[in-house]
Chain A
Amino acid sequence: MLRRLQPSEFQNVLVIATFAVTLAVFAFFFIRALRMKKDKVDHLSHLPLQDDSEPASSRHE
C-alpha cells in the first residue's frame, strides 16, 4: 500500500480526497443555508439594523 503512495499519483489522490472533503462540507452548508427557517433568516439579516431601533444616547468624552 505504501508503495502506491510514493509515485506521482500520490498528489492526485490527495487532491481528489481534499476536493471531496471540501465539496461535501460545502454542500452541507449550502443545503443548510437554503433550508434555514425564514424567521431565523429575518432575525439574522436585521441584526445590523437592530441597534437603530434600540434606545441609545451619546455624550461627549
Chain B
Amino acid sequence: MNSTAHKTTIEFDDRTVRHFVIASIIWGFVGMLVGLIAATQLSFWQTNGLKFIETITFGAIKIPADGISFLSFGRLRPLHTNAVIFAFVGNMIFAGVYYSTQRLCKCRTASDLLSKIHFWGWQLIIVAAAITLPLGFTRGKEYAELIWPINIAVALIWVVFGWNFFWTLKRRNEPSLYVALWFYIATIITVAMLYIVNHLSIPTSLLHSYPIFGGVQDGLVQWWYGHNAVAFFLTTPILGIMYYFLPKAAGRPVYSYRLSIIHFWSLVFIYIWAGPHHLLNTSLPRWLQMLGMLFSLMLWAPSWGGMLNGLLTLRGAWDKLRTDPVIKFYVAAITFYGMSTFEGPLLSIRAVNALSHYTDWTIAHVHAGTLGWNGFMAAGMFYWLIPRLWGTKLHSVAMANMHFWIGLTGILLYVASLWAAGITQGLMLGALNSSGTLPKYEFVETLERIKPLMLARVFGGALYLVGYIIMIVNLVRTIRSGKPTVETREVYVEAKSASSTMTWGEVFRSEPVIYFTLGLILCLMWFFLPNYANFGALIGGAVVIAKGVQTFKTGHHRWSAWHEKLLENALPFSVLAFIAVALGGLIQIIPTTMANRADSVHGRLQTMYTPLELAGRDLYVSEGCYNCHSQQIRMLVPDVLRYGRPGVADDYSHLGESLYDHPYQWGSKRTGPDLAREGEKRDALWHVLHMMDPRATSPGSNMPAYPWLFDKKTDIDSLPKRIAAQRSIGVPWPALSADEIKDQARAQAIGISKVLHDQGRTVEPDREIIAIIAYLKKLGTYEEAGGPPPAPLPSIDRPLLQPSLPDANRHPLSFNP
C-alpha cells in the first residue's frame, strides 16, 4: 500500500437505490399492463371502451357507447411507451447507477438531498404523464409526447441527477474511472442534449404547445432523438450496468477491458448518426438517408463486440448458468442485445426497410430489445440487488427460474408472431395485380390476414407479464424476509496529488490536440480554398500530421500520460464525449434548416391550413391518430399506387407538402392506411359514419370508434393564440384578427355541417368531429411552387421493394440556393 494512502469508512446511500428499485418494479407492471391492453385493443376493437363487457357477457350487460376517450388505443399507446421507457427502465437505470457509482467511486453519493429530489421529482413526472396522456394532452411525437411543463420538469430533474452524479465523481476516492462510469457519463450528457432539442416548443397554453421544428426537419429531429433515446437511454446505461453487475454476478472481471473501451467509443461516435434510418424512402433528402443507413450498418461491429465481451465474461463460469437465475437472465439479455442489434442494422438497409417499415416487423424488433435486453437485464439486477439491499436471501430460486422460462417463451412468441405479421403484411401491401397497375390486396385484407398473429402477440405479452408478476411475488417475499440494510465499507484512499488534476489548458494545449486540430483544419481547407491554394493546404496538413507522428514516436510517453490523465478527469472526458455526440446531431440538423423553407422548395408546396383545419389537426394529434396512420407516401411504386391519386403522376409525398406541419405526422406504423392523400378520397358523410362506427364503412377494421367527437365542442376560442404561436415559428399565416380567425372557423364549420345536413345527417357545427373532417379533407392539398417538374415515376418493371425513384431527383430541388 502506498505510504500516502489512508483508511476510511464509507456508508453507502442504499435507501435511494431501494426506492428506485421498488419504483421500477411497480411502474414496470403498470407499463406492461397498459401495453397488454393496447395489444388486446388491436385484436379486439371493443376493448377501446367497455363494449367488450357486452361481448363477454353475451349481451347480458348493455354498454351504450362504443368507445371511451381515455381508453382508446391512440391515447394508451403513448402511455405504454412512456411508462416502460421512462418509468420502468428509467427507475431501473437510476437504481443501477446509484448503486454501482458509489462502489466504483468508493464514496457515498454526494448529496442525499439531491438524491431525494431526483427520486420524488421523477415519480411526480411519471404520475403527471400517466394523467395527461390518457386525457389527450400530447405533443404528438413518439416518446416525446409529454406536454411542455412536464418536459421542463424532466430537464430540471435530469440536471439534478447529473449534478449529483458529477459531484460524486468529483469526490471519489478511486482515481480511475471504470468503463461503466463512462457509459453513465455519455448517457447523462446525451440524453440532456437530445431531450432539450427535440422538446423545444412554443406554448399556446399550459397544456399545449407546437414544436419549433416542422415538416421534414421535425421528422429528422424526432428520429435523431427517438433513435438515440433507444441508444442512450435503453442501451448505454444498461451496458454500464452490464459491465458492473455481470462481473459481480459471475465473480470474475470483464473478458476484455480493452474491448469495453473500444465498445464505448465506437457506440458513442456511431450511434448518434443513425437516426435517419427511421425515415428511409421518404421525402427526407437522400444524403441523410444514406448517412443513416451506413452508420447503422457500422453499428454491427461495436454492438457484437459488446455482446461477445459480455458473454465471454462468463468464461469458466458457465456452470453457474444452471444454478444462478441472475446469470441466466443476464446471458439471455445479452443474447437479445446481440440479436436486436443485428436486426436493427438489417432493417436499416433501404431495400429491407421498404418491406419492413410501417409494419409489425419494427414492433417485433423493438420488443426483442425492450423485453429481452432491458426487461431481462432489469430482472437480473433486481434478483441480485434486492437480497443484498434487504440483507437476506432470495425467497425462491425456483420461482425466479419459472419467471425466466415463462418470460422467455413470452418474448419468443411475441417476437416470432410479429415478425411473421410484419413480413406478411409488408409483402401483401407491396403486391400488385397481374397487370401491375393496382394493389393486389385491400388494406383491410392484409389486416385480416395478420389478425391471428396479432392475437399470438397478445398471448406472448401476457406470458411475459405473468412471469413479471411471479418476479414481483418472489421479490416481495424476499423483502419481507429481510430488513433494509446500511452497508459500510473500509477502503484505502490515496491522497489526491495536484498532478492528477487536469486543467483545461493541459487538455487543449497538449500535443495530441494541437497536431490533430491543425492537421485536420489544413486538410479540410482543401474543400474551401481556390485551386492551387487548396493543394497547398492539403500538403500543409500532411506535413503537420507527419510531424505529429514523429513527435508521437519520440515522446509517446507524454501522449500516454496525457491520455491516462484525461481518463481520470471526469469533466474534460465528459466534454470530449459531448463533442462526439453533438457533432453527429449538428451535421444532420443544420442543413435541413435550409431544406425546410418555402423558398427552398420547388414543385409542391403545402397549402396553408384554415383556422378550423388547424383545430382539427390539433385534435388529430391529441387523439394519437399518428400511432396507426402515416402521412407519407414513400418513393416506392406500391406506396404510390396504393395511396396516391389515380391519374396523378408522381404522387409520392414531396418534401414541401408537410412544410408547415408542427409537429410532422409522417408516423412510424400503419395499423391503418396512409392518409397523405385522404382529402380528395372521401366525403364528409363517409368520415362521420367512419368515426361513429369504423366497421360500418370498413368491414374488418380494428379502429376504435370516436363517439366523443360528436359530443365535445371544438375549442375555437384558443385558435388566435395557437395561430400566433405558429406565426412566431415561421408559419406564414395571413394577418387576421382574433375575431376574424374565430369567424372563419365558425363559417367553415357551418358549411361542413350544412353539407352533412343535405346528405341527411345532422351534426352541430361546433362539434369536434366537424373540425376533424375539415382537417382530413385538407390532407394532400398543395400548390405548385414553380421550378422544375417533379421527377417522373419510372416504369415498374423493376423489383418492387427497391426504392423506385432516383433520389437525385429530389435533393437538388431542396438545396438550390
Residues on A facing B (Cβ under 8 Å) = 1, 4-8, 10-18, 20-22, 24-26, 28-30, 32-36, 40-49, 51-52, 54-61
Task: Give the chain B neighbours of A21 by CB distance below 8 A.
Answer: 520, 583
Is B811 part of the binding interface, using a Cβ–Cβ cutoff of 8 Å?
yes
Interface 0/1 of B269-308, CB less than 8 Å to A? 1100000000000000101000100000000000000000
Given contacts A18-B587, A44-B257, A49-B253, 14 further A-B contacts (CB under 8 A): A4-B528, A7-B815, A7-B816, A10-B815, A21-B583, A29-B265, A30-B262, A34-B258, A36-B261, A45-B257, A47-B174, A51-B103, A52-B248, A59-B485
Q: Give complex CA distance A57, B485 in Å.
A: 10
B15 within 8 A of A: yes
Complex alpha-carbon distance, A59 and B107, angstroms: 18
Distance between B393 CB and nearest chain A CB, rounded to angstroms:
14
A17–B180 alpha-carbon span in the complex (Å): 30
Among A30, A42, A43, A48, the residue within 8 A (CB) of B244 is: A48
Contact B529 A1 (CB under 8 A): yes
Q: In the complex, are the beta carbons of B247 and A49 less than 8 A apart?
A: yes
Any chain A CB within 8 A of the CB of B176? yes
Which of chain B's residues have a CB closer than 8 A to the CB of A60? 391, 483-486
Nearest Cβ distance between residue A27 and chain B, in whole angstroms? 10
A55 to B390, CA, bound (A): 19
Please judge, given known A-B contacts A18-B587, A25-B269, A26-B269, whether A5 and B483 are in contact too, CB under 8 Å. no
Question: Could you tell me which residues of chain B, from 488 to 529, have a CB within 8 Å of some CB in chain A?
Answer: 488-491, 512, 516, 520, 523-524, 527-529
* Interface residue? B563 (CB, 8 A): yes
Cβ contacts under 8 Å, A32 to chain B? 261, 560, 563
State the Cβ distance, B11 to closest chain A Cβ, in Å.
Answer: 10
Q: Is the interface of B mostly helix, strand, loop or mixed?
A: helix
Residues of B within 8 A of A35 (CB): 560
B610 sits at the interface (CB 8 A): no
Interface size on B, residues (CB 8 A): 64
Closest to B18 in A: A61
Asked if B781 CB lies within 8 Å of chain A CBs, one says: no
CB of B622, distance to nearest CB on chain A (Å) = 35
Within the complex, the shortest CB–CB distance from A57 to chain B, in Å, comes to 5
B179 on the interface (CB 8 Å rule)? yes
Nearest-Cβ distance from residue B267 to partner chain A, whole angstroms = 11
A1 to B534, CA, bound (A): 11
Query: Which residues from 458 to 499 on chain B have a C-beta closer than 8 Å to any C-beta of chain A?
Result: 483-491
B527 contact from A17, A18, A47, Cβ within 8 A: A17
Show the binding face of B for A, using Cβ within 8 Å: 15, 100, 103-104, 106, 174, 176, 178-180, 243-245, 247-248, 251-254, 257-258, 261-262, 265-266, 269-270, 285, 287, 291, 391, 483-491, 512, 516, 520, 523-524, 527-530, 560, 563-564, 576, 580, 583-584, 587, 590-591, 811-812, 815-817
Contact of A44 with B178 at beta-carbon distance under 8 Å, contacts A13-B527, A61-B485 already known = yes
Contacts of B817 in A (CB 8 A): 6-7
Q: List 23 A-B contacts (CB under 8 A).
A: A4-B527, A4-B528, A11-B815, A15-B291, A16-B527, A22-B269, A22-B270, A22-B580, A30-B262, A40-B564, A47-B174, A47-B176, A48-B103, A49-B247, A54-B491, A55-B489, A56-B488, A58-B486, A59-B488, A60-B391, A60-B484, A61-B484, A61-B486
A13 to chain B, nearest CB (A): 5
B103 touches A8 (CB 8 A): no
Residues of chain A contacted by B252 (CB below 8 angstroms): 49
* A54 CA to B245 CA, complexed, in Å: 17
Minimum C-beta distance from B130 to chain A (A) = 30
A14 touches B591 (CB 8 A): yes
